[in-house]
């Protein structure tokens, strides 16, 4: 094989390899973005469902929505989120007679921070100082 043919074969092989790798990495990034969008939607649904259960808003329908949201999270949440979620659910179960608002708020804060870290794994300055809690409905004067 002469040098010109060898150069053409190497160039064609390199071009095919570059196109294949570019396509592979683009599909991988696209898949990761789709996965993050799905997680974000399920995390949002969980927070909305949980908001429906704050004091003064809890109902059977809210509890059903919460159960459905928890079950949906089980499909996509990584182990760290599931540990935080399970700790929060176990603490707030009806069978736990020793509840405190401070411990409840610590657990929800941990859960939300863990969800945020899963969606945006790169630590941002100020993340550690953020505090999350659920807002309830102010009492209505009737």
Q: What is the pLDDT along the chain (142 residues), one digit of tens a residue?
A: 788 888 888 888 888 888 888 888 888 888 888 988 999 999 999 999 998 888 777 888 989 999 999 999 999 999 999 999 999 999 988 888 888 888 988 999 999 999 988 988 776 666 777 777 676 655 555 5
Domain presence at residue 4: no
Residue 25 lies in a domain: no
Which residue segment(s) compose the domain that 103 sits in? 34-129
As for how many domains the chain has, the answer is 1
3-state secondary structure 52-82: CCCCCCCCHHHHHHHHHHHHHHHHHCCHHHH
Entry pTM: 0.74
């Amino acid at each position: 094989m002469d040098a010109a043919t060898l150069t053409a074969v190497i160039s064609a092989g390199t071009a095919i390899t570059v196109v294949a790798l570019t396509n592979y990495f683009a599909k991988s990034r696209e898949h990761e973005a789709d996965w993050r969008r799905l997680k974000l939607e399920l995390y949002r649904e969980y927070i909305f469902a949980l908001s429906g259960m704050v004091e003064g808003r809890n109902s059977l329908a809210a509890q059903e929505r919460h159960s459905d949201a928890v079950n949906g999270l089980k499909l996509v949440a990584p182990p760290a989120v599931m540990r935080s979620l399970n700790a929060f659910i176990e603490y707030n179960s009806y069978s736990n007679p020793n509840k405190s608002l401070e411990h409840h708020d610590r657990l929800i804060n941990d859960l939300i921070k863990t969800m945020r870290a899963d969606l945006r794994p790169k630590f941002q300055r100020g993340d550690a100082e953020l505090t999350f809690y659920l807002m309830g409905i102010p009492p209505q004067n009737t």
